[in-house]
Amino acid sequence: MWAGGLLFGSSVPPIDQKTLVTGNIPVILGASWRYTLPRLSSFLGVVIYMYFGDHSPPHFHARYGKHEALIAIGSTKVIRGALPRPQLALAVAWALLNHHALIKAWELAVNHKNPGKIPPLRKGEKKGKK
């Protein structure tokens, strides 16, 4: 049964947290639960994810190494977490260039549908220019 992005079930044995990669969607297994993180894009070391059935406001998860930030799609403000300043600037520039695709991806993911892929930020790409 889905609840807040988590799939609960007694058939998953308690194990140490491990990540399995199925296509481009990692499946993280833990004690009595599992969930998927659709990978929307990656560029210059920044990886962009969106959880299935995630909470409002609409946002995406940006990861760089051990750092992670939840970034609002509408305002591109950090909701929670942090990224190093250069990588945050890259994630925000990417989000501004892909605003409509992010909204569509959010609508699909929140309804437990595959949000698909969004093209990465290319070297030299800036806000408002493609």
Residues 6+ apart with CB under 8 A from 16: none
Q: For residue range 20-30, what is the model confidence (pLDDT) as tens digits?
A: 444 444 444 44
Confidence of residue 3 (pLDDT cuts 50, 70, 90): very low
Beta bridge partners of 19: 28
Q: Which helix (H) or strand (E) holds 71?
A: strand 67-72
Q: pLDDT-based confidence at 89, cuts 50/70/90? A: very high
| pLDDT beyond 90 at 33 | no
CA distances, 61 to each of 10, 11, 71, 97, 130 (Å): 28, 28, 6, 16, 23
User: pLDDT band at residue 42, thresholds of 50, 70 and 90?
Assistant: very high
- For the chain, the straight-line distance linking the first and the last C-alpha, in angstroms and rounded, comes to 41
Question: Under a CB-based contact definition with an 8 Å cutoff, are residues 37 and 26 in contact?
Answer: yes
- The lowest-confidence range among 14-18, 25-29, 35-39, 44-48 is 14-18
Domain ranges across the chain: 1-35, 37-130
Is the pTM of the predicted complex or chain greater than 0.95? no
